[in-house]
Chain A
Amino acid sequence: MTDILAVAEHRRGDLRDVSYELVTAGRQLADETGGELHLAVISGTVEDFAEKLNREGVDAIHTVTDGEEFNHDIYTQTVTQLADALDPQYVLIPNSVNGLDYAPAVGANLERPLITDTIALTTEGQTLTATREMYGGKVETTTELEGPAVVTIRSAEWPKAEGTSDATIESFEPEIDEGAIRSTVTGFEEVGSGDVDISDAEVLVSVGRGIDEEENLEIIHELADALDATVSSSRPIVDNGWLPKNRQVGQSGKVVTPDVYIAIGISGAVQHVAGMKGSDTIVAINTDPNAPIMDIADYAITDDLFDVVPALTEAFQ
């Protein structure tokens, strides 16, 4: 039991980037355990996916034709059966919204411990050491666990595997218990379109929970007017109904790449950073000098936004 089983992710006909990152993470663990790297690709056009996934370091790819799109009942049953058949030391799954919709069930079915949202992994003998964040990224931890496990990996932490391999590609036919399929995906919907497309903006004045009250947004709008910029925000502002959904930057919002991104009272949680790290110049205004946003900022002011923002606005009037 030294092999690694990694489960690729795709949506609406496309493999997601994290699938190639899984190959890199999986290869590293396979080297450390002295085992093989097996991939599983489930539902949809699996032949086509398998071809694309056949990158350097992959030993075998198991294709499963059941299902069109992601259905967690099919994924759970299939991955459980594949793990029973291959007996891998670690099952690797993306820490995506869909990964979190079946990885815990696989862990429970296999009676294996689960460790989620890992950002680094290393294994020695039977011990897996996983690095994760806690408290919204304020601290990092290392955790150890013994024996086989189910592990989810955070996206964009491992480089995407490149090159090609000559992995064996084999079809796996799970015995799907139809009675246990008690969920049905009925469709998809794009959300967050509207009058303004923040992904087109060159300058974004982005506001977070540090603004405290809806009334206080006034100073943000004034700054945006003075700078001829567009207002965007972190999630809590949209959750509170203070700005429409199309203004949300992040994993579940919009990905933006402006020339200048001014993050005001935003901590820089990983799901937010996912949407703005490609900005050309990032400026943070935050009272907390240790906020994770500081790690990706090019310029920072560690001070109260209620002092800095009006002063900045004034400088442009």
Chain B
Amino acid sequence: MKILVPVTEVATVEDEFEIEGTAIAEQYLGADLNEWDDYAIEEAVQLQEAGVADEVVTVTIGPEECEQTIRQALAKGADRAVRLWDDALEDIDLLGVDAKAELLSAVVDDEDPDLVLTGVQAGDDAFGATGVSLAATVGYEWAAVVNHLEHDFEDGVASVRRELEGGVEELTDIELPAVLTIQTGINEPRYASLRGIRQAQRKPLDVLELADLGVDESAIGSAITLTEMYEPESESDATIWEGGAEETAGKLADLLREKGVAQ
């Protein structure tokens, strides 16, 4: 069995930041492996260690700078990586779900995986839709928000649990090939070992452009444009206590006593 794991590098934002136009100013941004993708990688690597998967391949849409994040996935045990980028993507500030699905579907066509494991959402744009959109585009079956996966795949079926709202889980059987979007908590993502990090440097990382994928530029020209970004108007009418920890804790203690706590 071959598993494809779409891996995203997300932008992280410092506590204090400024907005320039429709983006957060560069100096307040960091980069990290998407939290939900970390769990998807772990699930794929565990399937490989269990002898169920033969190969784990990652695919990332992103510029060269995100190779550090891709190497993290390789260091955790993925076998090789594909990175998609093109000058045509450079100027798009919000890549739509349909465009992402289109790009990733070209890689699914090439790689022909039995299983695609994506994160439920990316922590920055939070569309939460790429996995299912990809499945529909390539004609795979799918399941969204999976927090448990049985590793036996009896008769080519993935038995999963989907985490619904309010502490209810749905048990569902999904025919392969399929895309599953992975929820945090399904496993315990590992830290990359020093050996893993060294090995990752030697693992193949192929870079593909739109032409290599046979994707037309018009397919990624998203219908969605970002027109404004601002800090949400604070609806806060909170009483903010100032001062050192002793003082603020004292004020909170007074409030709690007033409310009859611990009496």
A interface residues, how many (CB within 8 angstroms): 98
- Who on chain A is nearest to B249 by CB? A311
Contacts of B234 on A, CB cut-off 8 Å? 294-295
Interface pair A227/B172, CB less than 8 Å apart:
no
Interface pair B129/A104, CB less than 8 Å apart:
yes
Contacts of A289 on B, CB cut-off 8 Å? 15, 240
Interface range, B side: 35 or more
A116 beta carbon closer than 8 Å to chain B:
yes
Answer whether A297 and B222 are a contact pair too, CB < 8 Å, given A117-B128, A134-B126, A189-B171: no
Contacts of A287 on B, CB cut-off 8 Å? 15
Contacts of A109 on B, CB cut-off 8 Å? 136
How far in angstroms is the closest Cβ of chain B from A273?
Answer: 12
Contacts of B166 on A, CB cut-off 8 Å? 251-252, 255
The residues in A between 81 and 134 inclusive whose CB is less than 8 angstroms from any CB of B are 95-98, 100-105, 107-109, 111, 113-117, 129, 132-134
The residues in B between 111 and 167 inclusive whose CB is less than 8 angstroms from any CB of A are 123-133, 135-137, 141-145, 159, 161-167
Contacts of A227 on B, CB cut-off 8 Å? 256, 261-262
A182-219 interface code vs B (CB 8 A; 1 in, 0 out): 11111111111000000000010000000000000000
Interface pair B223/A113, CB less than 8 Å apart:
yes
A160-198 interface code vs B (CB 8 A; 1 in, 0 out): 000000000000000000000011111111111000000
Contacts of A11 on B, CB cut-off 8 Å? 164, 168
Interface pair B240/A300, CB less than 8 Å apart:
yes
Interface pair B222/A139, CB less than 8 Å apart:
no
Answer whether A141 and B228 are a contact pair too, CB < 8 Å, given A134-B125, A239-B184, A308-B245: yes
Give complex CA distance A144, B94 in Å.
11
Interface pair A144/B224, CB less than 8 Å apart:
yes
Contacts of A238 on B, CB cut-off 8 Å? 185
Answer whether A129 and B164 are a contact pair too, CB < 8 Å, given A135-B13, A135-B24, A312-B253: no
Q: Which of B137, B225, B246 contacts A143 (CB 8 A)?
A: B225
Answer whether A301 and B252 are a contact pair too, CB < 8 Å, given A107-B133, A144-B224: yes
Contacts of B126 on A, CB cut-off 8 Å? 116-117, 132-134, 136
The residues in B between 236 and 262 inclusive whose CB is less than 8 angstroms from any CB of A are 236-241, 244-246, 248-250, 252-253, 255-256, 259, 261-262
Q: Which of A137, A141, A302, A311 contacts B226 (CB 8 A)?
A: A141
B57 beta carbon closer than 8 Å to chain A:
no
A278 beta carbon closer than 8 Å to chain B:
no
Interface pair A251/B165, CB less than 8 Å apart:
yes
User: Quick check: which of B48-56, B76-84, B95-103 contacts chain A, the rest being far away?
Assistant: B95-103
Interface pair A114/B98, CB less than 8 Å apart:
yes
Answer whether A188 and B171 are a contact pair too, CB < 8 Å, given A145-B223, A303-B245: yes
